[in-house]
Structure 1
Amino acid sequence: MEKRQALNALSGMLFGLGLVAFFDETVFHQLLHWHHFYDKSTTDIGLVSDGIFHSFSWFATIASLFMFADLRRKNAFYGKRWIGGILTGAGAFQLYDGTVQHKLMSLHQIRYGVNILPYDLVWNITAAAMLAAGIFLLVNTRQGKKADA
């Protein structure tokens, strides 16, 4: 039982990480052109770094969906635990991105040429809220019953 619960959480975390990374790449990098994954070089290097980042998010998402399908096939899917994993993975990645990549490593900022404080606050508070909600669900489903999917 514990292995199945762990796999539900892990599958959800990978899906959440891949989903929020895919959203970040699509919206902020491609549609709005606010930044690249790595902004300390040429535009070409920035585009290559975006491609690597996009590949990472895509592989995480695909791996999570294979795990999801296997859990469903084995009748071992726990919906609330999986949702908890999604929120935990999405929140953890977004908080890591907003603190480590944006501030500590200075790979890029959310946006340039504006006061970034409101952007940072929204990004990191949203991340912390997703992370807290995900952890709450994971803790409360540790010994929970199988949820309908």
Structure 2
Amino acid sequence: MPPRPASSSEDRPQPGRSLAVCALIGLAVMAAVDEIVFHQILHWHHFYDRSALGIGLLSDGLLHTFELLALVAGFFGFADLRRRNALVAAHGWAGFFLGLGAFQLFDGIVDHKLLRLHQIRYGVDVTPYDWAWNSVGVILLALGIAQTVRAERSARNRPASV
């Protein structure tokens, strides 16, 4: 590969891409936390609980595959941003928290309630678990939104590079 010129358009900060790549990483990290803690360690549920145990384990394996592929893709994107000196850390952190919260809320609302793929826990009143799960998702998403707004304001107030 030929060397790049000292200053190319690739060296410009890429806040939107920084946010998107880190959101993918955040989504994958929260999927990993869910899968490892609630599926494997606590044995509270599988990704799909409306069939035989083998199907539940298969669905966990597919979730784990998705999570690992998302992590790999996210970290390749992150490494590329770093290599190009295009990573904007503030937007990256905002994206990370947006990804964490988005997974949490999607899982809590769509998977748990709308599609009923699984519940957080069985044999107990799930209401406090649902409130806790979705509240954490809202908090993480709100943190990501607040960080995005702060990063955008900071970027607007930063003098343009020469």
Q: Is the shorter-chain TM-score for this pair beyond 0.5, marking a shared fold?
A: yes
Query: Which structure: larger Rg?
Result: 2
- Number of positions where the alignment pairs a residue of Structure 1 with one of Structure 2: 146
Residues 1:74 and 2:84 aligned together? yes
- Aligned AA (2:114): L
Inter-partner Cα distance in structure 2 for 1:62 and 1:37: 21
Letter matched to residue 124 of structure 2 = V
Find the counterpart in structure 1 of residue 19 from structure 2: 9
Return the TM-score normalized by structure 2: 0.85
Q: CA deviation at 1:61?
A: 1.0
Conserved 8 A contact 2:78-2:87: yes
Runs of at least 4 residues off by over 2 Å? 142-146
| Contact map agreement 2:13 2:87 (CA 8 A) in 1 | no
Aligned equivalents of 2:154 and 2:76: distance in 1? 23
Provide TM-score, normalisation by structure 1.
0.93
Identical amino acids, percent of aligned pairs: 47
Return the alpha-carbon distance in structure 1 between the equivalents of residues 82 and 13 of structure 2: 14
For residue 42 of structure 1, report the CA deviation from its aligned partner.
0.2
Pairing 1:41-60 to 2, within 5 Å after superposition: 41-60=51-70
Structure 2 residues without counterparts, runs of 5 or longer:
1-8
Distance 2:67 2:146 in 1: 25
In structure 1, the gaps of 5 or more residues are none
SS in 1 for 2:154: coil
Q: Distance in 2 between matches of 1:112 and 1:81?
A: 38
